[in-house]
Every structure is written in structure tokens, then in C-alpha cells.
Amino acid sequence: MAINREIEDIARDLIRHQHDHPPVRDLNRDVDRKLSTADRIGSDFARLVGSWIFVLAQVGLMVVWVVLNAIGSLAHWDSYPYHLLNFVLSLEAALWASLVLMALNRLYDRDRLRAQHDYELDVKSEEEVKALMNHLMHQDEILLQIVNRLDRSDREMKRLLRRLETVPNAEAARPGGSSPA
């Protein structure tokens, strides 16, 4: 009966050391939900500007512009020093640079948020490790209690066994050699 009560106490202690794990959140999904339509469009354009497709399209556009203006049979809308082409490219460069800088700002904000999230995960991990270590230390204490109880029980069993072994020897040593009936 006492052993059952001790087992219930140990089980109650183990239940007390359980804890909940906070959910892990998807940082990219959280950031993407908060983006406005303009931010999404800006990110898409910045991604386009940073691609080989855009570079090749720009080079193709400039080659077509120069060839059409160099051919004498067509009307020249921008003659040789190509001031209009220069103006268009300068305007494009200013607009694309602004878009890229805005996209970089959003990336900086996302990186800052990611760093904060990493810090929070590190704190949670540290708390989890501490909780696990406490739990393991508690289990070690319980195991030591069980080992001590088993050791005491073993000693008691050996003592009883020696006592039982001495009783038949004592009876054999009596005159008559048998126990009284």
C-alpha cells in the first residue's frame, strides 16, 4: 500500500514538471501579410530590375533606338549625341534606383524583424534547455530515491535470508534434531 502511494507521489512530481511549448511562427508569412500593394509591386519591379532579362531588354532597346536613328531613310527623332535617349536613361536610372532603395529598406526591415525573431527563439530555446535540465535533475533525484529504496530492500531481504538460514541451523543443533510439535 505504501509503495502505491510513493509511486503516485513520483507520478505527481513528474506531471508537475511538464510545460507547454509556444508555437513557432512563420516570419516570412507575417511580413508578406503586412506588405501593401505598392510594396509588393515595388518588390516585383526591384526583382525585375535586378535580373538579366531587364539588362538584355535595356541593351536591346538602346540598340534599336540607335539603329533607327542612324538609318537615314527614317525620320530622326533623336540625332547623334542622342540627347533624348540620354534623358530617358537618366530618368529611368533615377526611378529604378529609388525603387531598388525602397526594396532595400523593406529588406532591412525584414532582416531586423528576423534578427528579433532569432533572439526570441534563442530565449525560448534557453528556457527550454533550462526546463529540460530541471526536469532531468528532478528525474535524477527520483532515480536516486528509487535506488536507495531498492538498496534498503535488498539489505532487508539479505538480513531476512540470513535470519531464515540461521533458524534451521539452530533447530538442527537442538537435541532431538527436530522442531517440537
Shared domain for 79 and 106, answered yes or no, is: yes
For residue 86, the tally of other CB atoms under 10 A from its CB is 11
Q: How confident is the model at residue 177 (pLDDT cuts 50, 70, 90)?
A: low
How many structural domains are present in the chain?
2
Residue 160's pLDDT is 92
Same domain, 80 and 39: yes
Contacts by 24-28, CB closer than 8 A, 24 or more apart: 24/121, 25/117, 27/113, 27/114, 27/117
Per-residue pLDDT reduced to its tens digit, 100-141: 888 888 888 889 888 988 988 898 899 889 989 998 998 888
> Among residues 110, 140, 156, which one ends one of the domains?
110
Could you tell me if residue 151 is inside a domain?
yes
Residue 44 placed within a domain: yes
* Residue 134, domain extent: 1-19+121-171
Is the distance from CB of 65 to CB of 82 less than 8 angstroms?
yes
The b-or-e profile of 139-177 (16+ CB within 10 A means b, else e) is: eeeeeeeeeeeeeeeeeeeeeeeeeeeeeeeeeeeeeee
Q: Smallest Cα–Cα separation from 16: which of 134, 104, 123? A: 134
pLDDT of residue 181: 47
115 belongs to a structural domain:
no
* Backbone Cα Rg of the chain: 42
| Averaged pLDDT of the chain | 81
Express each pLDDT in 71-102 by its tens digit: 766 677 777 788 888 888 899 899 888 888 88
pLDDT digits (tens, 9 = 90+) for 31-72: 788 888 888 888 888 788 888 898 899 999 888 888 888 776
Q: Is the pTM of this model over 0.75?
A: no
Same structural domain for residues 42 and 86?
yes
